[in-house]
Amino acid sequence: MKNVKSLAGWLTCVLVLGCMDLAQAQSPCPLDSLPLNVSVTTDAWGYELYWELIDASAACGDGTALLWGGNPEVGCGDGVAGLPSEVYDNNTLYTSATICVSEEDSLVLIHRDSYGDGGSDFAIALGGNEAFGFDGSGSGNDWSFQPVLAVADLPCLAESIFADTMTWVGSTEDASVSPNEPAPPALGCGTYGGWCEAGLENTVWLSWEVPAGGGVFEVSTCNEQTTFDTQLALWRVTDCADFESYELVNANDDAGCGLGAYRSTLLTPCLEGGETMMLQIDGYYGAVGTVEVSVTTAAADVWTVSAGVQDLSCSLLTSFDPNGSISVNSNVGIEAVAWTWEGPFGFTSDAASIGPLLPGDYTLEASFCGQTFSASYEVEEPAPLELVVSLSPDCALGSTLGVVDIEGGQGVATATWTSGAFGTSGVEVSGLPGGLFEVDVVDENGCEASEVVWVESVGVPEVDLGPDQFGCAGDAFTLLGPLGAGLTYEWTTGASGALAVVQTDTPGTLVVGVEVTDGAGCTGSDAVILTLDDCTSALDDLGQDFRLNAYPNPFVDEIQVELPESHAGGTPQLRDLSGREVPCVWALQGTTCRTHVEVPAGVYFLSVAPGLETIRLVKQ
């Protein structure tokens, strides 16, 4: 924990705002030098700070410091003690004595922090104006600088520019930024009233007195001698030394012109004669070079208004969030224009940009310096998100495929499928287990819609009717399919339940099969061969007396069957695993039958009635 130590000594000339009095001894500086002082703002732990201002040829702690302050026990680091001074209070502003320096001097501001978290701020004033600002960081900093004031570098040292006369030409290469110097907001390139970026790097300032007749003027860097990407701002200033008194009138970054795409131009409001304005010029992201600035009288009718409409993000039926908006911009700045809006449901406004808005037509009437402008804009509402969820079973994988068709909304939408701990995403998904699912869809604007669907459990029913059976013609055979909720049955005998009783009549073979379908539409099937003897005439197994010979087995597309002489000319029958007959065209020649058949891979049954055995064939 940081503990505040007792105060030690400091410079005899100290300013402590809020709790200490100013004791200042100023000496006039020669004409070839500048008065310099250092202001320090401490953080919440002022006792951690020590600093020195030294010549670049000196070293911290060698006793030659030009100015210094803070806790001497912190010192210069590495065991080097500081010069006797007063320990600073917390969150307090201190200003040093004033010394005289030359522009040829090379100086170093040394900052040390015993805790290593920085936090103190330093400002160096030259000639009574803040010229350099430094933010302390970490365990300390060494800042090198030369006490040089570039031409027009400070607002209070701004050079004058005059309308409709010669342009002002200068360089920003040696310019700096004053601590807390104001900057226009970052509104985007080409937007009046702001810049592409709000950072300040190398600013110059010009002072301009509005001619007695007043009026509208064009301020521009779009001139032949401008060499870099410029940013331009117009300020109304009460006190050049008080940045709080600066009021932004207009700004521009990149209006472009025939001389280059990166010059800046703006129009002023209707100004009163005799008013003094300030111009600020900087470079885009630190660009520097020569700038040529001009101020010329302009006609009021060259003012322009541009507008951008932002439609509602979502349908009000999806989410009641009327967030439409209309943003306007003018090359004279929005504050210089009188704006009047009317819209649906009695909407009125005198703001430049309006929102949030309901959908509908909005009318703008604007006036500037005796000129008028009118236009209408429509704020639209997107179609609501509508979902149609389609499900199809993947019987092979034992899961469900899901597809959500999306209509309405804006842009590409994402879909999330959730059931308990299970979740997946996509407008097309696979592997969905059975259960109650919530399908949530979000479009690129964040609009949401959802549906709740029931997904059936998927799994091919396991159907096994047991081994083939033998018996006597006239016997009844009982066959049982699988049991389960939601199953339906289709037997070759016409039965529709899980249990089928087959009543036989004549000797021979009989194929009985069943196809079982679950709630998801997946099917499974099986069949058995019933071999029936004529037990009343004491004949033995008829299937053993007359045999079929089929080849190849397994087959691909061709089947050849050799029949016994007793069945020459008979027509074979091919059935699938469920007992359904497969249509075939057989070519008969004596006891040989041939066919070409294209069927799915699996097990099939071949028989010739009456009296012959039934054999199994495998399709590869």
pLDDT computed for residue 550 by the predictor = 84
In a shared domain, residues 344 and 416:
no
Mean pLDDT to the nearest integer, 188-211: 94
pLDDT computed for residue 296 by the predictor = 97
Residue 2 resides in a domain: no
For the ranges 119-123, 501-505, 558-562, the maximum mean pLDDT occurs at 119-123
Instruction: Kindly report the CATH number assigned to the domain that includes residue 33.
Output: 2.60.60
Asked whether 108 and 101 are in contact (CB, 8 A), the reply is no
- Tell me which of 578 and 274 has the higher pLDDT: 274
pLDDT computed for residue 12 by the predictor = 29
Model confidence at 610, pLDDT cuts 50, 70, 90, reads low
For the ranges 403-417, 421-435, 499-513, the maximum mean pLDDT occurs at 421-435
Mean pLDDT to the nearest integer, 88-108: 95
Residue 95 resides in a domain: yes
Instruction: Kindly report the CATH number assigned to the domain that includes residue 332.
Output: 2.60.40
Residue 463 resides in a domain: no
In a shared domain, residues 245 and 359:
no
Residue 10 pLDDT greater than 70, yes or no: no
Mean pLDDT to the nearest integer, 532-536: 75
In a shared domain, residues 401 and 537:
no
Residue 409 pLDDT greater than 90, yes or no: no
Residue 366, domain extent: 305-379
Residue 5 pLDDT greater than 70, yes or no: no
In a shared domain, residues 78 and 127:
yes
pLDDT computed for residue 16 by the predictor = 32
Mean pLDDT to the nearest integer, 178-183: 90
Mean pLDDT to the nearest integer, 538-546: 45
Helix (H, G, I), strand (E, B) or coil at 71: coil
Mean pLDDT to the nearest integer, 64-91: 95
Most distant CA pair in the chain, distance: 146
In a shared domain, residues 435 and 516:
no
Amino acid residing at 31 = L
Model confidence at 541, pLDDT cuts 50, 70, 90, reads very low
| Cα–Cα distance list, 483 to 435, 479, 499 (Å) | 21, 12, 9
The mean predicted confidence, pLDDT, of the chain is: 87
Residue 272 resides in a domain: yes
pLDDT computed for residue 611 by the predictor = 60
pLDDT computed for residue 552 by the predictor = 85
Model confidence at 539, pLDDT cuts 50, 70, 90, reads very low
In a shared domain, residues 198 and 213:
yes
Helix (H, G, I), strand (E, B) or coil at 219: strand
Mind listing the pLDDT tens digit for each residue in 468-485?
Answer: 888 888 888 888 988 888
d(CA 136, CA 332): 40
Domain count, the chain: 5
Instruction: Kindly report the CATH number assigned to the domain that includes residue 244.
Output: 2.60.120.380
Residue 7 resides in a domain: no
CB atoms near residue 139 (< 10 Å): 15
- Tell me which of 497 and 26 has the higher pLDDT: 497
pLDDT computed for residue 13 by the predictor = 31
pLDDT computed for residue 17 by the predictor = 32
d(CA 21, CA 596): 114
Q: Please name which of 165, 150, 151, 195 lies closest in space to residue 293, comparing C-alpha atoms.
A: 165
Boundary-marking domain end, from 379, 400, 426: 379
Residue 6 resides in a domain: no
DSSP labels, 375-424: EEEEE--PPPPEEEEEEEEETTTTEEEEEEEEESSSS--EEEEEETTEEE
Mind listing the pLDDT tens digit for each residue in 309-347?
Answer: 999 999 998 888 899 999 999 999 999 999 999 999 999
Residue 598 pLDDT greater than 70, yes or no: yes
In a shared domain, residues 242 and 280:
yes
In a shared domain, residues 171 and 254:
yes
Q: Please name which of 154, 179, 62 lies closest in space to residue 110, comparing C-alpha atoms.
A: 62
Cα-Cα end-to-end distance for the chain: 82
Boundary-marking domain end, from 406, 422, 453: 453
pLDDT computed for residue 2 by the predictor = 33
Mind listing the pLDDT tens digit for each residue in 512-528?
Answer: 999 998 888 888 888 88
Residue 464 resides in a domain: no
- Read off the tokens for 217: 């003027």
Asked whether 141 and 83 are in contact (CB, 8 A), the reply is no
Asked whether 297 and 362 are in contact (CB, 8 A), the reply is no
Mind listing the pLDDT tens digit for each residue in 244-277?
Answer: 999 999 999 986 777 777 899 999 999 999 999 9
In a shared domain, residues 444 and 477:
no
Q: Which residues pair with 40 in a beta bridge?
A: 94, 122
Asked whether 348 and 303 are in contact (CB, 8 A), the reply is no
Q: Which residues pair with 206 in a beta bridge?
A: 159, 279
Residue 337 resides in a domain: yes
Mean pLDDT to the nearest integer, 433-450: 92
Mind listing the pLDDT tens digit for each residue in 277-290?
Answer: 999 999 999 999 99
Mean pLDDT to the nearest integer, 425-450: 92
In a shared domain, residues 502 and 596:
yes
Boundary-marking domain end, from 145, 163, 181: 145
CB atoms near residue 258 (< 10 Å): 7
Model confidence at 7, pLDDT cuts 50, 70, 90, reads very low
| Cα–Cα distance list, 159 to 145, 202, 209 (Å) | 24, 16, 11
pLDDT computed for residue 546 by the predictor = 55
In a shared domain, residues 475 and 613:
yes
In a shared domain, residues 372 and 416:
no
